[in-house]
Structure 1
Amino acid sequence: MHEDQVDVTTETVATLIQEQFPQWSGMAIRLLPLTGTVNAVFRIGDDLSARFPLRPAGAAEALAVLEREARASAELARVSRFPAPEPVALGEPGAGCPMPWSVQTWLPGTVASAADPSGSEAFAGDLAAFIAALRKAETLGRPFNGEGRGGVLATHDDWVAKCFEQSEGLLDVPRLRRVWSHFRELPRTGADVMSHGDLIPGNVLVAGDRLGGVLDTGGFGPADPALDLVSAWHLLRPGPREVLRRSLACDDLEWERGKAWAFEQAMGLVWYYAETNPGLSGMGHRTLRRILESVECPT
């Protein structure tokens, strides 16, 4: 999916496990279909998964990221009643793998990109309960770390402008420019709260029509209270979306800011993954359609 992508094979993973974690050697190793953009994920036996960064970085830098993600994942697991992967071990570079890697517990279930829960009000209620539990967790005085989404909308102007340029012929760019001109001006009023940070279908597990668990929890941290509301647009149809809004008692401003963060994310997905990950690109298209159906903006 990336020009500089680091590819790891099952043979490499088997060698790394034999050398570094021999207690797991002999377990079946399966590369899982990619649902995210940051890591390749391998299932190890029945109870573990190993994650390998896709983008190259220095070993020390990559290790610092993995250690931070492990702490965040452990912290989220303590405050959520919904299952989340828990850190087990950190692996070292070797056997053709240039960067550190991580091992987590495996969660059963089907990702929402494969089992569409968008019409389930019960799922929407579960999702709201998950977000509410994170919001109640203590920030411990930590502010938003300034990385990615979750701070000031207008700081993403350059990225969104690039997305508009790359999306000519793919999207109704003039209309989307008008929508962003409204979103970027939305004021921030609420203090940071603890947030998952990336509630997209590939990071959510479905069991029946309920929330079965949440993945990719290493970004758990303080952010705009509206950030996790991206899930309303990535995951839900109008009826269940209203269930989520009522359950979280979102006012108009917070709701619009959540829509704005979903817009910023979706704009990048459409063009960047148009050829390399059509599923993610299609998700971006769907999210933008949902947003455009909801906004009061000149056509």
Structure 2
Amino acid sequence: MHAEELDIDVSLVRRLITAQFPQWAGLSVTLVDSAGTSNAMYRLGEDMVVRLPRIAGAANDVEKEHQWLPRLAPRLPVAIPVPLGKGRPAEGYPWHWSVYRWLEGENPAVERIAEPGLLARDLAEFVAALHRIDPADGPPSYRSERLAMRDAATRHAIEELHGIVDTDAATAAWDAALQAPARPGPAVWVHADLQPGNLLIVRGRLSAVIDFGCLGVSDPAVDLIAAWYLLPADARGVFRAALEVDDAAWARGRGWALSIALDELRYYRDTNPVMAAIARHVIHEVVTDHEHAA
């Protein structure tokens, strides 16, 4: 998926575990089937997972996750990854890596959500709890810039997707998002990447939120992308009402969803069909929302 991506396989993971965590050396190591783009995941025995950055950008997140996830976890209503060990560079692998507790569940798909209204409430409960945590000393989120700072990159993505998406409709929706007033209040803790691959559900209910690579402080509207990435249209109102989102924040959240999805489709359309399909869906939902609101 990435030009600079490392080769990671079961053999490497076994060598790293054996050398650095000998108490787990006899456990099975199995590749986790995932559409994730920044980290490779290997299940370790029944109760753990090894997470290794594929690219340098993801490697920079390891220290942040080990520092902050244990502090955030007790304050959140669903499970998040809890680090059990931090591995060192070795065996030709150049970065730190992590061992986490395995979290049960499956990634949601919009077309197969049994109770969208319940999932919308679960998502809102998680987002509200995260946003309430004291942001003091929190690092900037990977997505902490104002929407206007994404303008050039977003328009470039629209141009590259000519003939693949309705570029006129996408441009109109993006223009509308840029008109939304900026948030006057301080930044809060955000996950900033609430999309299907980063959520786990059990029996239709949210059971865990994973992959905190974008974690940090930012405009809370960034976490509203879940409305278009995860929820069918008739459940978005439940999510919005539970969070008491005003028009300006909702418009910024819709802009964030559109900008992220356009960039994902541009980048992954030939290398990650799952991510590309999700991005196409989000673009369609955002454009449809904008046309209905206009």
TM-score, normalising length from structure 2? 0.93
Deviations 1:37-79 (A, max 9, x none): 110111111111111111146xxx94x5311122222222121
Deviations 1:165-212 (A, max 9, x none): 221121111221222122123221232121111101000001111111
Question: Are the structure 2 counterparts of residues 115 and 10 from structure 1 closer, same or farther at C-alpha, using a change threshold of 3 Å?
Answer: farther
Per the TM alignment, residue 247 of structure 1 is displaced from its structure 2 partner at its CA by 0.6
Question: Are the structure 2 counterparts of residues 298 and 46 from structure 1 closer, same or farther at C-alpha, using a change threshold of 3 Å?
Answer: closer
1:70 aligns with 2:66: yes
Amino acid at match of 1:13: V
1:21 aligns with 2:15: no
Q: Distance in 1 between matches of 2:112 and 2:66?
A: 29
Deviations 1:17-55 (A, max 9, x none): 111110000101011122221101111111111111111
Per the TM alignment, residue 159 of structure 1 is displaced from its structure 2 partner at its CA by 1.5
- Which consecutive residues of structure 2, in runs of 5 or more, have no partner in the other structure? none
1:261 aligns with 2:256: yes
Pick the aligned partner of 1:158 from 147, 152, 155.
Answer: 152
Question: Are the structure 2 counterparts of residues 15 and 113 from structure 1 closer, same or farther at C-alpha, using a change threshold of 3 Å?
Answer: farther
**Residue number in structure 2 paired with 1:205:** 200
Q: Distance in 2 between matches of 1:67 and 1:105?
A: 17
Pick the aligned partner of 1:124 from 113, 120, 127.
Answer: 120
Amino acid at match of 2:69: S
Aligned partner of residue 68 in structure 1, secondary structure: helix
Deviations 1:94-129 (A, max 9, x none): 223222211111101111249943752111111111
**Residue number in structure 2 paired with 1:148:** 142
Amino acid at match of 1:7: D
Deviations 1:259-298 (A, max 9, x none): 1110111001112111111110010110111111111489
Pick the aligned partner of 2:86 from 90, 93, 105.
Answer: 90
Question: Are the structure 2 counterparts of residues 97 and 107 from structure 1 closer, same or farther at C-alpha, using a change threshold of 3 Å?
Answer: same
Contact 1:154–1:185, Cα closer than 8 Å, also in 2: no
Q: Distance in 2 between matches of 1:297 and 1:239?
A: 13
Q: Distance in 1 between matches of 2:100 and 2:137?
A: 28
Q: Distance in 1 between matches of 2:227 and 2:76?
A: 19
Pick the aligned partner of 1:238 from 229, 233, 237.
Answer: 233
Contact 1:118–1:240, Cα closer than 8 Å, also in 2: no
Contact 2:142–2:216, Cα closer than 8 Å, also in 1: no
Per the TM alignment, residue 141 of structure 1 is displaced from its structure 2 partner at its CA by 5.6
TM-score, normalising length from structure 1? 0.91
Deviations 1:195-247 (A, max 9, x none): 11110100000111111111112433211011110000000011211110111
Aligned partner of residue 211 in structure 1, secondary structure: strand
Q: Distance in 1 between matches of 2:31 and 2:71?
A: 27
Contact 1:233–1:291, Cα closer than 8 Å, also in 2: yes
**Residue number in structure 2 paired with 1:273:** 268
**Residue number in structure 1 paired with 2:211:** 216
Aligned partner of residue 220 in structure 2, secondary structure: coil
- Which consecutive residues of structure 1, in runs of 5 or more, have no partner in the other structure? none
How many equivalent residue pairs?
Answer: 293
Aligned partner of residue 98 in structure 2, secondary structure: strand
Identity of aligned residues (%): 33
Q: CA RMSD in A?
A: 2.1
Contact 1:163–1:268, Cα closer than 8 Å, also in 2: yes
**Residue number in structure 2 paired with 1:100:** 96
Instruction: State which drifts further: 258-267 or 173-182.
Output: 173-182
Per the TM alignment, residue 158 of structure 1 is displaced from its structure 2 partner at its CA by 2.3
Per the TM alignment, residue 249 of structure 1 is displaced from its structure 2 partner at its CA by 0.8
Per the TM alignment, residue 10 of structure 1 is displaced from its structure 2 partner at its CA by 0.2
Q: Distance in 2 between matches of 1:132 and 1:25?
A: 40
